[in-house]
Structure 1
Amino acid sequence: MLEVVNPYNLRKVGQVPTVNWDEVDQYLATATALSKDRKARLPDYQRIEILKKAAVLMEGRFEELALLIANEGGKPLGDARVEVTRAIDGLGLCIKELGNNAGREIPMGLTAAGTGHLAFTQREPIGPVVAVSAFNHPLNLIVHQAAPAIAVGCPVLVKPAEDTPLSCQAFVEIMYEAGLPEDWCRFVACDIPTTEKMVTDSRVAFFSFIGSARVGWMLRSKLAPGTRCALEHGGVAPVIVEESADWSTMVPSLLKGGFYHSGQVCVSVQRVFAPKAQAQELANQLAAGAKKLKVGDASHEDVDCGPLIRPHEVDRIEAWVNEAVEEGATLVCGGKRLGNTTYTPTVLLNPAVTSKVSTLEVFGPVVCVYGYDSIDDAIEQANSLPFAFQASVFTKNLDVAMAAIHDLDASAVMVNQHTAFRVDWMPFEGRKQSGYNVGGIGYTMHDMTEEKMAVINL
């Protein structure tokens, strides 16, 4: 059994059964047999009915699921409710995207050789899917990884984060209750060696991973020949502030983007570049807002920032902030632990460009503000790292906005919005070391299918 604790008070909140390799091996064998037996595939309308019923069941357990997210993952209850809403909507997106996940006609009369032929494509499920997930959105990430597989007709094995398996288990059980046969979706809580053996098995057709770059790239390097994959890692998200920016809307946006879920978000606001004449005042205003955020048990209604997922993360962030201050950063607010599991929302001004907080993903409640001489210098520094995910620019100047969109090395550039903004039908992808391939429900459904062409000689 795997015991699950509340990351704030470290009290046990539940447990889930673990499986060994023999059980996983059988799951993979069954998934492979289902994929090969085309007559065993569930028809589209039946999968749609299952997804619709699952959404109704989740709606009926809305508050229960939100409390589960807060208790096992430390996400503040208000944000946990938003996550449940997104997860329910995600099932609806899967249904909608099924109508778009279609083939096309290939024009054949473009040369004499093709004349007299009809060609078209269809999309087929790719085969067994293995999904390994992260802790920070323990329900919605599972929906993004498992529900597309279910929607397109791929058997899926889901391995949740060790810290947050309860939401995943609840989702899988809801799918069963909605009518999905158990062999089509398996909850797999297992140890690291079993996980690696499962992921790298030659029967896996598609591997979906959300987590650290170190683990993701390592697993990708060991995939069996032919296994496709999508990796979502993290970034060190940059924000460019231009002198015309509207601070009345920008400051609240940056506070949300930087301290939402205590910064434990892969596109959390981390590096904010402002004109030198404005940097100190921006840091002061961010600090004033950060000081108002209440830190505590995420299951309490009035808490803004919950705990970090494990005590050693508090130790790490404390060390990184202390290092930044020793290397010349000004500590504007925060900079201290509140206990074994929480850390104060922190604002740093002008850390050294070589400090860890400037070069690596903090994944904690720390926002850094840097003063720049020219916006070109700021964009150059923003682009200087081997990570690139979402970025943003705040400006009232259209030329500046368009230049930032063009010049920032990012998969998405938000204008007058924080870097952590996302809706679930957007493409969501990391560049360089931040990931591989595209997330987002419709894009994942596309990746979990393959195109087959038919050519008919008329």
Structure 2
Amino acid sequence: MTKVKISVKKHLFINGGDVEGAEYAPLFSPYSGEEIAQVALADETLTKDAIKVAVSGFQVISKMPAYKRAAILENVVKLLEERIDEAAEVISKESAKPIAFAKGEVLRTVETYKFAAEEAKRIHGETIPFDASPGGVGRIGYTVRKPIGVIGAITPFNFPMNLVAHKVGPAIASGNSIVLKPASQTPLSALYIAELFKEAGLPDGVLNVVMGSGAVVGEAIIRDERVAMITFTGSPAVGISIRSKAGLKRTTLELGSNAAVILDKDTNVDQVVDRHITGAFSNQGQVCISLQRVYAHEEVYDEFVEKFTVEAKQLKIGDPLDSNTYISALISERETERALGWIEEAKQNGAEVLTGGKLTDDGVLEPTIITNVDPKLKVSCQEVFAPVVIVNKVKSVEEAIEYVNDSRYGLQAGVYTKNVDKALLASEVLEVGAVMINDIPTFRVDHMPYGGVKESGTGREGIKYAVEEMTELKLVVWNRGE
């Protein structure tokens, strides 16, 4: 059984086994500060070794029948289902994600690999009616989808197991090999999954995990001509840099957001408050589609603010391994200080902090609600990635839409209304990748197309859609000589 122990050496995972790093760095718990492990760091040479191995791995996985690829993914599902508690503890220790949310992530990871196993069996093309053109008479044709090669995957800390699955799952389903660089703070979840894949029967070299800095490991993956595609989840600045360096490589970039919801005047506040608590404060707000902005109609604003604040004050703060904890530490002290600075900026510019805005004795940022926020302030116009949400008053859905669209981001948005015309208007004119009617923008299930517009990225995740990104469409035409 796969185990992650405290303060042990964790090596690189290349060609199906442990490989020592160029050096090792301590990994500390974001909550307790205790050392969790000594983690191997790759240099450029080791990264290139992993890519070389992945090239060979591609020759194996690309020739493997779909049912065998599906069977490997199904085996991973079974193994992970047997170890949900263990896997959740790995996530919680390295990221400070409260254990209840960590278990939820493992369950979602199981679902993601289930979808990947299913999609492996239905990668297909279509027939083309060539006789629709006079020049096509006597010919028949069809398309097929072929794997493209080595996938370079760069993943973030906030969902260290499920966002790995969203890259590894479709890559294996479609017959590609992978070089994975996990976030520096959360490598243990990626290594855990790599070991499960080995146990599940994945051929050596198909999945390789290399830890290290973006400047070294990330750059080597991005620039290497043997890598066919980069799939990245992270900041817009890094995503833009990847796009500029990747050349003709395919890129799928899931970047920043400051997701918003609109509450129309007919919103039943009692029915939606709990959902907004989940959207704003789960995983300490460190979710790409975390609810950061609420635009409430003036007729429901006061009631919503009052009840939302009461609920936020009741959330349990503390040790992520405590099953009752809802809010724990942010991923680093630096991120905590940044969030505090943004809150202070808002206060200095006339905003009102209704609750939170300060640290507990053990350094956890309390869930924070801010009202009367100028849209140009950082807590509104940038991605806060912390348990901080603003609530502003509007006179109409139309006014709220203008505020939502006044953003460099466009990942997801939500609107609560019983008015069909307003719901249709919002769905048509909100500048986002997905609109949730009568739900928060934080909604996601793992088989839906997921991605944004503007600086929220390019391409779509969701297994079926990721498979399309990771395969090449090939046309075959037969001349029957008629």
Aligned-partner Cα distance in 1 for 2:351–2:62: 62
Name which of 145, 163, 174 aligns with 1:141. Answer: 163
Amino acid at match of 1:205: A
Task: Look up the SS of the partner of 2:92 in the other structure.
Answer: helix
Deviations 1:357-413 (A, max 9, x none): 111011001110111123211111110111111100112222222222122111111
In the other structure, the counterpart of 1:409 is 431
Cα drift, residue 339 of structure 1: 4.6
Instruction: Sort the Cα spacing of 1:339 and 1:229 in 2 relative to 1 into closer, same or farther, 3 A.
Output: farther
- Does the CA-based 8 Å contact 1:135-1:163 persist in structure 2? yes
Instruction: Sort the Cα spacing of 1:222 and 1:341 in 2 relative to 1 into closer, same or farther, 3 A.
Output: farther
Task: Look up the SS of the partner of 1:182 in the other structure.
Answer: coil
Cα drift, residue 449 of structure 1: 0.6
| Unaligned runs of at least 5 residues, structure 1 | none
* 1:15 correspondence with 2:8: no
Task: Look up the SS of the partner of 1:351 in the other structure.
Answer: coil
Give TM-score scaled by structure 2 length: 0.92
Task: Look up the SS of the partner of 1:205 in the other structure.
Answer: strand
* 1:221 correspondence with 2:244: yes
Q: Tell me how many residue pairs correspond in the alignment.
A: 456
* 1:271 correspondence with 2:271: no
Aligned-partner Cα distance in 1 for 2:339–2:241: 24
- Does the CA-based 8 Å contact 1:277-1:371 persist in structure 2? no
Aligned-partner Cα distance in 2 for 1:245–1:232: 31
In the other structure, the counterpart of 1:361 is 383
Cα drift, residue 31 of structure 1: 2.4
| Unaligned runs of at least 5 residues, structure 2 | 1-23
Name which of 219, 222, 233 aligns with 1:210. Answer: 233
Stretch deviating more after TM superposition (46-55 or 238-247)? 46-55
In the other structure, the counterpart of 1:316 is 338
Instruction: Sort the Cα spacing of 1:138 and 1:40 in 2 relative to 1 into closer, same or farther, 3 A.
Output: closer
Instruction: Sort the Cα spacing of 1:201 and 1:340 in 2 relative to 1 into closer, same or farther, 3 A.
Output: farther
Aligned-partner Cα distance in 2 for 1:426–1:39: 26
How do residues 342-381 of structure 1 correspond to structure 2 at under 5 angstroms?
342-381=364-403
In the other structure, the counterpart of 1:387 is 409
Deviations 1:241-266 (A, max 9, x none): 10101112211111110001111001
- Does the CA-based 8 Å contact 2:411-2:433 persist in structure 1? yes
Amino acid at match of 2:383: E
Cα drift, residue 3 of structure 1: 2.5
Aligned-partner Cα distance in 2 for 1:183–1:320: 44
Task: Look up the SS of the partner of 2:427 in the other structure.
Answer: helix
Task: Look up the SS of the partner of 2:130 in the other structure.
Answer: coil
Name which of 79, 90, 104 aligns with 1:57. Answer: 79
Cα drift, residue 79 of structure 1: 1.1
Stretch deviating more after TM superposition (166-175 or 188-197)? 188-197
- Does the CA-based 8 Å contact 2:434-2:452 persist in structure 1? no
Q: Percent identity?
A: 36
How do residues 102-117 of structure 1 correspond to structure 2 at under 5 angstroms?
102-117=124-139
Cα drift, residue 53 of structure 1: 1.1
Task: Look up the SS of the partner of 1:113 in the other structure.
Answer: helix
- Does the CA-based 8 Å contact 1:157-1:188 persist in structure 2? yes
Amino acid at match of 2:132: L
Deviations 1:316-345 (A, max 9, x none): 111111110110111111111125641010
Deviations 1:66-87 (A, max 9, x none): 1111111111111111111111
Instruction: Sort the Cα spacing of 1:348 and 1:64 in 2 relative to 1 into closer, same or farther, 3 A.
Output: same
Cα drift, residue 20 of structure 1: 1.9
Name which of 261, 266, 272 aligns with 1:244. Answer: 266
* 1:130 correspondence with 2:141: no
Give TM-score scaled by structure 1 length: 0.97
Stretch deviating more after TM superposition (20-29 or 102-111)? 20-29
Task: Look up the SS of the partner of 1:130 in the other structure.
Answer: strand
Aligned-partner Cα distance in 2 for 1:25–1:432: 33
Amino acid at match of 1:215: V
Amino acid at match of 2:287: V
RMSD over equivalenced CA pairs, Å: 1.5
Name which of 381, 399, 420 aligns with 2:442. Answer: 420
- Does the CA-based 8 Å contact 2:61-2:203 persist in structure 1? no
